[in-house]
Structure 1
Amino acid sequence: QSSLGSGSSLLVHVLRVGPGQELLTSLRSFVEEKRLRAPFIITCVGSVTKATLRLANATATNPNEVLHLSGRFEIVSLVGTLNPDAHVHVSLSDCEGHTVGGHALGDMEVFTTAEVVIGEATQLQLSREMNKRTGFPELVVQPRTD
């Protein structure tokens, strides 16, 4: 089953998250404060000192394939939707340039900065519904009604 939305205008927000702040919590707070209904990450640059990622081999019956990182990492990619059940993936590069990525579960403490550009599809609303086939909450796109 696909969930397709129609076209929408785009509103752009820019947020800087400072040292010591948890990145995903900060993004969720920003989305809630601005009452964004269809937010998504356009781009992000920055660094973190730790992160918790769910790896690609996780399944609904084995969701605990988790990696806890600690050290200094550059954010080389941060993508996803920021509706209440945010779905965000991150790629992080260490001091030797080795990169790891996965589903961002949290614990992403900002080291120096995280400069995030957030888009909002102003005529749409994003939500998630549990999908029996995958065992995960999956994206549902609907026209905004207010």
Structure 2
Amino acid sequence: MITPYAKRLLKGDDLRYSLLEIIQLKKIQAGSLLTGIGCLSQAKIRLANEQKILHLEGPLEIISLSGTLTPKHVHVHISVADSEGRVYGGHLVPGCIVSYTAELCLLEYNNLKFICEYDNKTGFDELVIFENN
């Protein structure tokens, strides 16, 4: 069974912390971020396979937002466009601040449980999926 959720964020909200807050409030054990749109006054994005964080100043438009959600971890990718139409993307980290509004749609998978555990092969925390019987 799938349970949908929708949330509108307001000016000053941190996108990543707001996602974690929704997950904890709704007690979501396994979920995905279906979509997210809105505007940011600033963004912090971790680049692919790097520790480097890209700092961008707004106005920025959220072009895409998707990922997996666990009770303690969100693995979300974001792409944003600046006022010139240049697009930047990578991993969502704290510091993506809503400028006017943002709209989020999430799905909860009631038959699954997601956790993240360190994987020696990749060197990163990776998704582990459990099916509820």
TM-score range, shorter chain: over 0.9
Q: For residue 67 of structure 1, what is the amino acid of its counterpart?
A: L
Q: Percent identity?
A: 36
State the 1:86 CA deviation.
1.1
| 1:25 aligned partner | 17
Which structure has the larger Rg?
1
| 1:101 aligned partner | 89
State the 1:144 CA deviation.
3.1
Q: For residue 138 of structure 1, what is the amino acid of its counterpart?
A: E
| 2:60 aligned partner | 73
State the 1:56 CA deviation.
1.4
CA distance, structure 2, for counterparts of residue 142 and residue 53 of structure 1? 29
Deviations 1:19-41 (A, max 9, x none): 11111111101110110111210
| 2:3 aligned partner | 11
For the Cα contact (< 8 Å) 2:44–2:55, is it kept in 1?
A: yes
State the 1:140 CA deviation.
0.6
Q: For residue 130 of structure 2, what is the amino acid of its counterpart?
A: Q
Corresponding residue to 1:111 among 84, 99, 102: 99
In structure 1, stretches of 5+ residues that fail to align are: 1-8, 59-63
Deviations 1:72-106 (A, max 9, x none): 10000001012112101100001111100001111
Q: TM-score scaled by structure 2?
A: 0.95
| 1:50 aligned partner | 42
Displacement over 3 Å in runs of 4+ = none
State the 1:71 CA deviation.
1.6
Corresponding residue SS for 1:26 = helix
Corresponding residue SS for 2:24 = helix
Q: What is the aligned-residue RMSD (CA, Å)?
A: 1.1
Corresponding residue SS for 1:107 = coil
CA distance, structure 2, for counterparts of residue 131 and residue 81 of structure 1? 17
Corresponding residue to 1:141 among 123, 129, 132: 129
Corresponding residue SS for 1:106 = coil
Q: For residue 119 of structure 1, what is the amino acid of its counterpart?
A: L
CA distance, structure 2, for counterparts of residue 72 and residue 94 of structure 1? 6
| 2:73 aligned partner | 85
State the 1:57 CA deviation.
4.0
Q: TM-score scaled by structure 1?
A: 0.86
Q: For residue 91 of structure 1, what is the amino acid of its counterpart?
A: S
